[in-house]
Structure 1
Amino acid sequence: MRTAYRVETVRAAERALMARLPEGTLMARAAAGLAAVCARLLRPSGGTYGARVVLLVGGGDNGGDALFAGARLARRGAGVTALLLSPERAHRAGLAALRAAGGRVVDPEGEPERATDALRRARLVVDGVVGIGGRGGLRPAAARLLAAVDTDEALVVAVDLPSGVEADTGEVTGEAVHADVTVTFGTHKPGLLVDPARQHAGGVRLVDIGLRPHLPARPDVIAWEDADVAALLPRPAAETDKYRRGVVGVAAGSARYPGAAVLAVGGALCGGAGAVRYVGPATDAVIARYPEALVSAGPPHRAGRVQAWVVGPGLGTEPAAGELVDDVLAADVPVLVDADGLRWLDRERSLGRAAPTVLTPHAGEAAALLGSSREEVEAARLAAVRELARRYGATVLLKGSTTLVAGPDDEPVRVNATGTGWLATAGSGDVLSGLVGSLLAAGLGAMDAASVGAHVHGLAGGLAAAPPSASTVGEALTAAWSHLLGHQPAPVER
């Protein structure tokens, strides 16, 4: 599990740690880790000796980390040039260390041609312009220097966070560094896990500087890994029957969109529940593809016993769809609302439910629920998912390039670490809805069901896209389950 903390929390932990250490120890640890990553990155193209390295150095400790790391690389034979964006504010001890190791220092304002030439010939550029306390995009001088980097020849390594992105929110409000690798210290920051900032970070390397004992137990953002998800997968015991495994109801599809019902039922059947009850007009299509489904003409409250409901995929915009959503929301079981169901979602009804409610909007649907624009949601995904969860008293799974899961009780937001652009296809969300609904019926809590479902769904998408690719929803999800079960001990047969 990867955990991320806000800047204020990180700063407090750093102060607590520095109070116990000799002056400069923390920066030395960070610089050593940064230099080690840079050296490994240079290895495939000939190694550190003789490599041209350029440091983009701003004021403060972020620039100091870059300077001390540059000094280490210079002592190993690299040709290191530091370009000082704020010479009067550059870290003095770091500058002295770089000069003592044989590094060069250039003022880009006074020697623009020399600075540009160094950047164009560099094999590695270290972004030490702005640290985690930066706000807004890059200043024009820094943006001009970065434009001179030959990105076909040089790797860009960001120090702690790509300059120009927001550490706490993942927002990018102006020009920002696009790093190949980001070396972050002590803990992840939310912006390294959440788009759009995540796309600027490249591969993230975490350097342990001893911060962990000084961080609170509860992070702001977490990203589960395979082993975390595997530990929660429902696995039937020998005495389990279909009701103990859970029965999920699916109210989906319409005359215009019968395929949505088929896809949602398929996702549910592969999600661990013991049975699926389908209600809607796509009965023939569902039975033709999944004869094991239990079908009903409805209404949902007469469909039979279920432990959770999924409502919304492909319902359409006719008033009957709203009546179906209201019927499902009246049930005293967990309910997942997706797609067209979100059009008919009443906030007061959602807030008044005793059983958990899960909403699974994409950015456009989230914008409609919030009364904002899709662009605003995409730019501030963390803020959007938190506000939706608070406003509707629900667990919200915000789909997108980084899928986020937030609960109504201010618990840490969960970032889904799996997925691929190949999932951006019609019907993908319907499969996810059925999958998460099945996990709810199997007994997982709302946050866990949404998180596990998103992880498995993303993993299945990646496995389906890679050769030999899966040809059906069931094959893809089964491959994902099999992959995850490799991280979980097999049950002991008695």
Structure 2
Amino acid sequence: MRTAYSVETVRAAERELMARLPQGALMQRAAAGLAAACADLLGRVYGSRVVLLVGSGDNGGDALYAGARLARRGAGVTAVLLNAGRAHAAGLAALRRAGGTVTGTEGAPPLIDRADLVVDGIVGIGGTGGLRPEAVPLADAADRSRAAVVAVDLPSGVDADTGEVHGAALRADLTVTFGTHKPGLMIDPARDHAGSVRLVDIGLALPEDAALEALQHADVAGLLPLPGAESDKYRRGVVGVAAGSVRYPGAAVLAVSGALRGGAGAVRYVGPAGAAVIARFPETLVSDQGPKAAGRVQAWVVGPGAGDDAATVAEVLTADVPVLVDADGLRLAERDTVRARTAPTLMTPHAGEAAALLGVAREEVEGARLAAARELAERYGATVLLKGSTTLVASPGGPEPVRVNATGTSWLATAGSGDVLSGLAGSLLAAGLSARDAGSSAAYLHGLAGRIAAVGAPVGAHDIAEAIPRAWRDVRDV
């Protein structure tokens, strides 16, 4: 499990550790890890040209001490001070002793243009808002240059706690973060500014209640349902899929394709696309008599391609089993009906659907994904899987960390991909997983399947579905 902690929690852990260490020892630990990462990125340190962008906080001190280490190995290091009077004095002295030079911002862009490496130590994790005006030309120069850019703890200008970017922000090729991941390094749009992320252990003692967590292979493997010796198709769980319409029969087919590969023992389909479903998946149990006449199920998926079939959505929401609501179902489901449910509900909107449910612009959701997921979960009293470049799974009312998934690929942005995800997550619900575990495990497998199917080339939703068994085997290492 990869975890991320809030700035407040990190600061408290740092204070506790610094009280037990000699003065400056914690910064030296961070600087040593930062210098090692910079050296690895450079390959050859001797003779390289390094520019440090140094702000007034501890991030600037980390950059200065790391620069001193690189200078002692033969790099030509220049520190650009954004505020000379407030630069970290001890770090500045260390850089000068090692042979580094210091300059102001006026002549910095040409230095950055010629650099092999730029180290961003402008703003630390306590920064809010975008870059200050005097830092923007430096960030622009770094973006235009051929130099590799390394951010200290997180890219300057992004919000450490939320992943939001308000204004100009630096873009890094590598972010070296200390002690623990910060939420902003795992959630877009800030994640897109971070590049690769390298975690340096500096000895922080952190509590169990993380702000964010990301499942990894071992975590998902422990959640996936496995049939036992006494299992039959009904004991493994039956998922009902109420999806598709005369206009959108493909949505039903794709939702069923995901459901069949999700671990449940059987799939019941209800809706007007039965002929298309049977033609593609003859193992499906098909009915056109409505959800209540379909037979027993342990979970329902409702909404993909449903058009304006509000009656079916309403009928499914009365069922006393877990229900996944997607696509048209999100538009048709009454908020009070969802809130009144006693069985778990998993909602799976993309940013546009989430914006419509919240009554805001899509750009607002995309710019504040964490806040949007949490707000939706609270408004509807449901678990929310917010799809996107970083998929978030938020639960209502509880202390559980929001889960973030980044196994996907941009090739997943294709018609029908979400229908496959809905079927897969619904099947995991039917197999007995909680809404939170089903949503986050499904997102993980779906993203991994997308990578497997794409391998750098365009894919269709059916390709993603067909790659799910391989993703499943990969996670379980079989």
**1:68 aligned to 42, 65, 70, which one?**
65
In 1, are the aligned partners of 2:450 and 2:464 still within 8 Å (CA)? no
Cα 1:340/1:130, change in 2 over 3 Å: same
Q: 1:217 aligns with which of 208, 216, 224?
A: 208
- Could you say which residue in structure 2 is the equivalent of 1:422? 411
2:368 aligned with 1:380: yes
Aligned residues of 1:266 and 1:473 also touching (Cα < 8 A): no
Q: Deviations over 1:216-275 (max 9, x none)?
A: 111000111112111111111121101111000000000000000000001000001000
Cα distance between partner residues in 2 of 1:484 and 1:145: 43
Deviation, structure 1 residue 474 = 4.2
CA deviation map 1:424-473 (0-9, x unaligned): 01100000000000000000111000000000000000100017989744
SS, match of residue 142 in structure 2 = coil
Among residues 83, 89, 92, which one is paired with 1:92 in the alignment? 89
- Structure 1 SS opposite 2:235: helix
Q: What's the counterpart of residue 174 of structure 1?
A: 167
* Structure 2 counterpart of 1:122, one-letter code: A
**CA apart distance, 1:423:** 0.6
CA deviation profile, 1:129-181 (whole Å, cap 9, x unmatched): 00001111111221112222374520000000100000000000100000000
1:144-223 equivalence runs, <5 A? 144-149=137-142, 151=144, 153-211=146-204, 213=205, 215-223=206-214
Task: Report what 2:18 is aligned to.
Answer: 18
Q: 1:286 to 1:473 in 2, by over 3 A?
A: farther
- Structure 1 counterpart of 2:28: 28
Deviations 1:334-389 (A, max 9, x none): 00000000111111111111110000000111011111111110010000000100
- CA distance in 2 between counterparts of 1:191 and 1:81 reads 29
Aligned equivalents of 1:432, 1:63: Cα separation in 2: 44
1: CA distance between counterparts of 2:464 and 2:102?
Answer: 58
Q: Secondary structure at the match of 2:50?
A: strand
Q: Distance in 1 between matches of 2:9 and 2:79?
A: 31
Q: 1:48 to 1:424 in 2, by over 3 A?
A: same
Identity of aligned residues (%): 71
2:102 aligned counterpart, secondary structure: strand
AA of the residue aligned to 1:315: A
Alpha-carbon distance in structure 2 between the residues aligned to 1:284 and 1:473: 22
Q: Give the conservation status (yes or no) of the 8 Å contact 1:62–1:131.
A: yes
Task: Report if the CA contact (8 A) 2:124-2:156 is conserved.
Answer: yes
Instruction: Tell me the equivalent position of 1:432.
Output: 421
For 1:357 and 1:148, the matched residues in 2 are separated by 48
- Output the CA distance in 1 between the equivalents of 2:191 and 2:208: 24
Q: 1:130 maps to which residue?
A: 123
For 1:308 and 1:117, how far apart are their aligned partners in 2? 62
Aligned counterparts of 1:69 and 1:124: Cα–Cα separation in 2: 12
Aligned residues: 475
Does the Cα contact within 8 Å between 1:159 and 1:183 map onto a contact in 2? yes
Q: CA RMSD in A?
A: 1.3
Decide whether the 8 Å contact of 2:71 with 2:95 is kept in 1.
yes
Contact 1:177 1:200 (C-alpha < 8 Å) held by counterparts: yes
SS at match of 1:28: helix
Aligned mates of 2:423, 2:289 — CA distance in 1? 18
Q: Which moved more, 1:83-92 or 1:461-470?
A: 461-470
Asked if 2 retains the 8 angstrom alpha-carbon contact of 1:186 and 1:208, the reply is yes
Say which of 337, 341, 346 aligns to 1:358: 346
- Amino acid corresponding to residue 364 of structure 2 in structure 1: E
Q: Are the counterparts in 2 of residues 224 and 417 from structure 1 also a CA contact under 8 Å?
A: no
Match of 1:405 in 2: 393
The aligned counterpart of 2:472 is 481
- Say whether 1:245 aligns with 2:236: yes
Aligned partners of 1:337, 1:116: CA distance in 2, in Å? 52
Q: 2: distance between equivalents of 1:438 and 1:149? A: 47
1:17-36 CA-to-partner distances (Å, cap 9, x unmatched) read: 11111110110000000000
CA offsets per residue over residues 371-411 of structure 1, 9 Å max, x none?
A: 11111100100000001001101000000111000001242
**C-alpha distance after superposition, 1:59-90 (max 9, x if no partner):** 01010000000000001111000000011110
Name 2:277's counterpart in structure 1.
286
CA distance in 2, matches of 1:323, 1:402: 33
SS in 2 for 1:94: helix
Q: 2:311 aligns with which of 323, 327, 333?
A: 323
Preserved CA contact (<8 Å) 1:119 1:150: no
Matched residue, 2:435: 446
What does residue 118 of structure 1 align with? 111
Query: Which residue of 81, 103, 107 maps to 1:106?
Result: 103
Structure 2 residues without counterparts, runs of 5 or longer: none
Corresponding residue number in structure 1 for 2:334 = 346
When residues 6 and 456 of structure 1 are mapped into structure 2, their CA distance, relative to the original with a 3 A threshold, is: same
For 1:203 and 1:467, locate their aligned partners in 2 and report how far apart those are by CA, in whole Å.
19
- Asked if the contact 2:209–2:401 (Cα under 8 Å) also holds between the matched residues in 1, the reply is yes
Q: Equivalents in 1 of 2:265, 2:455: separation in Å?
A: 30
Within the alignment, does 1:463 sit opposite 2:452 as a pair?
Answer: yes
8 A contact 1:225–1:417 mirrored in 2: no
- Cα shift at 1:475: 2.5
Give the residue type in structure 1 aligned to 2:407.
Answer: T
Q: Distance in 1 between matches of 2:464 and 2:116?
A: 44
Distance 1:449 1:423, change over 3 A: same
User: Structure 1: any 5+ residue segments left out of the alignment?
Assistant: none
**AA matched with 2:88:** H
User: For 1:298 and 1:156, how far apart are their aligned partners in 2?
Assistant: 60
